[in-house]
Amino acid sequence: MSTPVTTPRDLVEQLFTGLPSRNAGGFADLMAEDAVFELPFRVPGMPARLEGRDQIREYLANRWTGMSGLEIHGITPHIYETTDPGVFVVENDVDMTRPGQERRSVRSSVNVVHVRDGQVTLFRDYMDTARLLSLALSQL
C-alpha cells in the first residue's frame, strides 16, 4: 500500500522509493496524463522524449523487462529543492548487482522533476549513458 502524498516533495520521494520494484504502472500512475519524460543524453535506440502517461508506462515496462539480469537492492535519492516549490533536482545512488559482478553502489543519474497539482508533469533523466553504452557493448 502506498503512502498518501501530501506535498510535491512527498510525491518525488514516492516516485524514487518505488523504482527498485521496476513497476512501470506504479511509476506512471504518479505522472500527469500529459506528462513528459525526457532523456537528453540518450544512447542509440532510446527515445529522446516520451509524451503522455501511457507512452511512459509502455516504454518503461519494455525497458525494465529487458533488465532481468540486473538486481536492484535499493535506490537512495538525494532530493534538492529549488526556489520553485514544484521543481526538484534528484541525484540517485543505486545499490545493485550486475550478473557476474560484486554488489556495489553507483550514481546512476541526475533528474529534474516538475510537480503540479499532485502529479509529475516533467521527468528529465540525465542518465550516465556512456556507462550504459559500454555495458551494452561489453555484452556483444
Supply the CATH number for residue 52's domain.
3.10.450.50
Q: Considering its fold, how many domains does the chain have in total?
A: 1
Q: Judge whether 75 lies within some domain.
A: yes
Q: What is the pLDDT of residues 74-115, one digit of tens each?
A: 888 999 999 999 999 999 887 877 777 777 767 678 999 999
Q: Judge whether 120 lies within some domain.
A: yes
b/e burial code for range 53-66 (CB count within 10 A of at least 16 → b): bebbbebbbeebee
End-to-end distance of the chain based on CA atoms, in angstroms? 40
Query: What is the percent of the chain where pLDDT is above 70?
Result: 82
The sign of the torsion formed by the CA atoms of 87, 93, 96, 99 equals positive
pTM across the whole model: 0.82
Three cell numbers written together for 33: 496524463
128 vs 7: which has the higher pLDDT: 7
Q: Judge whether 2 lies within some domain.
A: no
Q: What is the pLDDT of residues 37-46, one digit of tens each?
A: 999 987 778 8
Query: Which DSSP symbol is given to 64?
Result: H
Q: Judge whether 90 lies within some domain.
A: yes
